[in-house]
Amino acid sequence: MLPYLNPRRSELAMTHKRQVLVTGANKGLGLAIAKGLAAAGLSVWMGARDRARGEHAVQTLRGEGFDVRFIQIDVADDASVRRAAETVRQEIDALDVLVNNAGIAHDLQISPSELSMDDVKATYEVNLFGPIRVTQAFATLLKAAEDARIVNMSSGLGSLTLITDPTSLFSTVNLLAYTSSKVALNAVTVSFAKELEPFGIKVNAVEPGHVRTDLNDNTGFLTPEEGAATAIRMALIGKDGPTGGFFGNHGRQPW
């Protein structure tokens, strides 16, 4: 073998499997998305901040026969995201799908007027700035795929229409930091969609529904697998699929 060839890169090049990165993939919705995309035949990089939890999740899915690998990434940390991008670049030449799933909520039990600025900033670092910095860091690999997909995990709370509609369940929730971060993420989705469309990259936001996860103390009425369905579908859309949209399990959602 030639000394400058990475054996792992050569192996991946021969398989021609589509490559995916899912952030926050060690549990809940992210784990379900990673498993669903691996089941669809893709090779999945499972991103997580906590190495022990991330590697445990990877081993679990590998035990079920799925092609998954762990990548340590803290989406709220510039250096961590840069390191992750460099690690992936050493292994593959192109990234076909990016799912920006990592998210937090600090204000489930705190009223807007009492929420600390530290909690607001922490929420934005993960839910809004995280997808921005990860997308920017992996943009070169996504462009190299020539037909890549980016899925930003938003929320029904990210719809100004739904949170102000008294007939909508989402109007009963009033979370300052989480809601506003998802509204902003929808706008970010549109911005990236406009920029990346000439490269064949489709960028969409997804509302998974009220999923039972640690984020909401498992109070949701959908399983992670049910919530993951729309994200998986949007990650696998064809060339004639939409870009710059906001989608849920019933189709396009209102902004």
Q: Which two tokens stand for residue 17?
A: 């499997």
Among 70, 124, 170, 178, which one carries the catalytic annotation? 178
The dihedral built from the CA positions of residue 43, 74, 159 and 136, taken in this order, carries a sign that is: negative
Beta strands in 51-148 (DSSP E): 68-72, 97-100
Confirm if 229 and 249 have CB atoms less than 8 A apart.
Answer: yes
| Paired tokens of 195 | 């920029």
Contacts of 67 (CB under 8 A, 6+ apart): 17, 38, 42, 43, 44
4 is catalytic: no
> For 17, which DSSP code?
P
Tokens representing residue 47 in the block: 């991103």
Taking the alpha carbons of 139, 246, 19, 48 in that order, is the dihedral positive or negative? positive
Task: List, by residue number, the catalytic residues.
Answer: 178
